[in-house]
Chains A and B, each alone.
Chain A
Amino acid sequence: MTSITDATLPITPRAMRDEMIVFVIMAALLAIVPWTGLYPFFVMQALCFALLACAFNLLIGYGGLLSFGHAMFLGTAGYCSAHALKVWGLPPELGILVGVAGSFVLSVVAGYISIRRQGIYFAMITLALSQLLYFIYLQVPFTHGEDGIQGIPQGRMFGILDLSKPTVLYYVVLVGFLGGFLLIFRTINSPFGEVLKSIRENEQRAISLGYKTDQYKLLAFILSGTLAGLAGALKVFVAQNASLTDVEVAMSGQIVLMTLVGGLGTVFGPVVGAFVIVGMEQYLAGFGQWVKVIQGGIFVACVLTFRRGVIGELAHLFKRSL
Chain B
Amino acid sequence: MKFLFDLDGTVTSMETLPLIAEHFNVQDEIMELTRQTVQGNVPFVESFIKRVGILGQLPVNEVNDLLSSVPLYPRLQEFISANKEQCVIVTGNLSCWCESLLKRIGCEYYCSEGQVENNQVVKINTILRKEQVVDTLKAAGETVVFVGDGNNDLEAMRHADIAIAAGMTHSPAKSLFAITDYLFFDETALCRQLNLLL
Whether A associates with B in a native complex is no
